[in-house]
Amino acid sequence: MIHAEVARDVADLTTRGVVPGLTVVLVGDDAASATYVSGKEKASRSAGMSGATIRLPATTSQAALLAVVEQLNADSTVHGILVQMPLPSQIDPDTVIRHIHPRKDVDGFHPINVGKLLIGHTDGFVSCTPAGVIELLVRSGVQTRGAEAVIIGRSNIVGKPMAALLMQGRSHADATVTVCHSRTRDLSAHTRRADILIVAAGRAEMITGDMIKPGAVVIDVGMNRVPDATRAQGTRLCGDVHFASAVKVASRITPVPGGVGPMTIAMLLKNTVRAAERSLH
Ligand code: NAD
């Protein structure tokens, strides 16, 4: 549904003379990153955008990558720039993120966009995964106002922006937010009082049904590849939530794969459309 909405917006912008353009930069040949990048390119093309991927060798220097980013910043046909993480060890990710022009930072990682999110200004870009979680909650009719929302994980790309979004004083937010992390004492005591439990710890199936309040809404952000001898490739993808036990207790739960992953890509496309729209003004 969101993809159809994005495709309509892209068609509208195209008739106004702007084809939204997303350029993804992939450094190195990490298999998981390559899969994510091709998914993003495919999705942007199928929405009618001009999607390009710049592939650079794993030995690329930081200076060379920054030069590519500068070129993209200056290219008026590129509205969104995404540098796929993780980067090889010779490159500092924060330096790269700070070089992306905030108006083209469709990942929402630039400190200016993170600051706008925290302050509650809506003219920045919000990190795609937490934005996708809000979209899922809204479209499922989940009431966030006054709800106890417990987030597991405090990363800059998921946990922190998720907390910032849910604590804002506006509709589709207004929750009472608790952020748990690797140093939290008695995790279950927090998860068991969550009306909305959002798990982004990167620990396969760590949240089991007995840790969930009956009727809670459970959003599983985790994406873990674990061994599975029953599968042809010897592995399977799973979330941070033990689905079989959690589904018996939760009122709603997102699956992995599915759920948050596709929503993240949809938000990336939405951010790129916004960036293109803003280039008209
Ligand atoms: P991260 O490793 O940067 O952060 C993990 C966080 O979890 C940390 O803040 C840590 O304190 C916390 N944590 C770890 N173990 C814990 C424990 N036992 N108890 C409580 N807290 C604990 O990870 P990230 O980048 O935020 O990603 C988290 C997960 O979400 C990963 O599985 C990742 O693959 C997935 N992810 C999915 C998408 C998507 O589009 N679906 C996007 C981003 C991340």
Q: Write down the domain spans for the chain.
A: 2-107, 128-261
Give the span between the Cα atoms of 149 and 271, in whole angstroms: 25
Dist CA 98 CA 22 (whole Å): 18
- Provide DSSP, 102-149: GGG-TT--SHHHHHHHHHT-SSS---HHHHHHHHHHHHTT---TT-EE
Q: What is the CATH number of domain 2-107?
A: 3.40.50.10860
pLDDT category at 223 given cuts 50, 70, 90 is very high
Rounded average pLDDT over 106-131? 98
User: Which residues are registered as beta bridge partners of 199?
Assistant: 152, 220
Spatial separation of the C-alpha atoms in residues 139 and 148, rounded to whole Å: 19
How far apart, in whole angstroms, are the C-alpha atoms of residue 250 and residue 213? 7
Identical fold between 2-107 and 128-261: yes
pLDDT of 188 over the 90 cut: yes
Residues 110, 275: contact at Cβ < 8 Å?
no
Report the topology of domain 128-261. Rossmann fold (3.40.50)
Mean pLDDT for the chain overall = 96
Q: Is the Cβ atom of 132 under 6 angstroms away from ligand 1?
A: no
List, by residue number, the catalytic residues: 40, 84, 107
173: pLDDT confidence band, cut at 50, 70 and 90? very high
Confidence of residue 2 (pLDDT cuts 50, 70, 90): confident
Q: What does the pLDDT look like over 6-54, one tens digit per residue?
A: 999 999 999 999 999 999 999 999 988 998 999 999 999 999 999 899 9
pLDDT of 153 strictly over 90: yes
Looking at beta carbons, which pairs linking 12-19 to residues 24 or more positions away fall under 8 Å?
13/273, 13/276, 13/277, 13/280, 14/48, 16/280, 18/79, 18/276, 18/277, 18/279, 18/280, 19/48, 19/49, 19/50, 19/77, 19/276
Q: Measured from the CA of 263, which atom of ligand 1 is nearest?
A: 40
Q: Among 127, 182, 205, 269, which is best to mutate for testing ligand 1, by the most ligand atoms less than 8 A from CB? A: 182
pLDDT band at 1 (very low <50, low <70, confident <90, very high): confident
- What is the pLDDT confidence band of residue 252, given thresholds at 50, 70 and 90? very high
Predicted pLDDT at 198: 99
Q: What is the pLDDT of residue 244?
A: 98
When pLDDT is averaged across residues 89-97 and rounded to a whole number, the result is 98
pLDDT value, residue 51: 87
